[in-house]
C-alpha cells in the first residue's frame, strides 16, 4: 500500500503553476498578447452596433458644439437606402472648384462627426454606397431653415464655415450637409431644392 503525501503533491502543483504564470508574463509572450487583445478590441468596437443604433441622434455641428444632444427620431427602416444631401449657397457666387472643396469639407466633416456619435448609421450609409446629392439654396436664411427642418425630424446636419483664405469672407457658411438619413426623410427637407 502506498501512502501519498498530499502536501508534497500540492506544492509540486503550485510550483508548476507559478512557473507557467511566470513564463506567461515574459515580454516575448506578454507584448504580442497585448497587441492581439488591442486589435480584437478595436474590431469588436467597429463591428458592434452603438448604443445609438436604436435612435437617430441630433448630431452637433461645427457652429453649435455647445448645444445639448437630443434623441429625436426613430431609426430608418432597414429596407430603405440612405443618402446625404449637400446644400450649397448660391448668393456667395463661389467658383466650381471652391464649391467642390466646400462640399468635400461638408461630407468629411459629417463623416468625422458620425465616427464619434453614430458609427452604426455611418456603416449603414457606407453599405448603400455613400450616395451624395448636391443642391442649391438662395442664401443663409434658406440654409438655416433647411438645417432646422432637418434637425427637427432627427437628421444629422453639418455646416461648413469657411476660413476666408480665398473667395469668401471668413466665417461664411458655405455648405450644409443633411444626412445621411433615409431617402424619404432627407427628401422631405431638401426635395424641392434645385440640383447644382
Distance CA 118, CA 89 (A): 27
Contacts of 189 (CB under 8 A, 6+ apart): 85, 146, 149, 150, 153, 155, 178
Q: What is the DSSP letter of 84?
A: E
10 Å CB burial of residue 94 (0-12, 13-18, 19+) is buried
Is a pLDDT exceeding 90 seen at residue 5? no
Distance CA 177, CA 60 (A): 12
Q: Are strands 132-137 and 82-89 parallel, antiparallel or unpaired?
A: parallel
Distances (CA, A) of 148 to 53, 63, 67, 100, 153: 22, 13, 13, 24, 9
pLDDT bin (cut points 50, 70, 90) of residue 72 is very low
* Tens of pLDDT, residues 109-121: 999 999 999 999 9
Contact predicate 60/141, CB 8 Å:
no
Of 42-46, 119-123, 127-131, 171-175, give the lowest mean pLDDT range. Answer: 42-46
Distance CA 109, CA 159 (A): 8
- The pTM of this model reads 0.63
* Tens of pLDDT, residues 6-36: 555 566 666 666 666 566 566 666 677 777 7
CATH 2.60.120.200 fits 82-191, yes or no: no
Contacts of 66 (CB under 8 A, 6+ apart): none
| Cα of 123 vs its chain's centroid, Å | 8
Is a pLDDT exceeding 60 seen at residue 164? yes
Contacts of 111 (CB under 8 A, 6+ apart): 122
Domain residue spans of the chain:
13-44, 82-191
Amino acid at each position: 500500500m502506498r501512502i501519498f503525501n498530499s502536501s508534497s503533491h500540492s506544492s509540486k502543483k503550485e510550483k508548476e503553476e507559478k512557473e507557467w504564470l511566470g513564463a506567461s508574463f515574459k515580454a516575448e509572450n506578454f507584448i504580442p498578447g497585448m497587441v492581439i487583445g488591442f486589435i480584437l478590441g478595436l474590431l469588436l468596437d467597429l463591428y458592434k452596433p452603438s448604443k445609438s443604433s436604436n435612435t437617430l441622434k441630433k448630431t452637433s455641428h461645427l457652429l453649435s458644439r455647445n448645444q445639448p444632444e437630443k434623441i429625436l427620431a426613430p431609426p430608418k427602416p432597414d429596407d430603405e437606402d440612405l443618402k446625404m444631401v449637400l446644400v450649397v449657397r448660391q448668393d456667395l457666387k463661389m467658383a466650381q472648384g471652391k464649391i467642390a472643396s466646400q462640399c468635400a469639407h461638408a461630407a468629411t466633416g459629417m463623416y468625422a462627426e458620425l465616427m464619434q456619435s453614430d458609427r452604426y448609421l455611418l456603416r449603414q450609409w457606407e453599405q448603400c454606397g455613400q450616395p451624395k446629392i448636391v443642391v442649391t439654396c438662395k442664401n443663409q436664411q434658406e440654409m438655416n431653415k433647411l438645417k432646422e427642418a432637418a434637425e427637427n425630424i432627427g437628421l444629422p446636419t453639418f455646416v461648413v464655415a469657411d476660413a476666408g483664405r480665398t473667395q469668401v469672407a471668413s466665417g461664411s457658411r458655405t455648405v450644409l450637409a443633411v444626412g445621411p438619413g433615409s431617402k424619404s426623410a432627407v427628401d422631405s427637407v431638401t426635395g424641392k431644392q434645385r440640383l447644382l
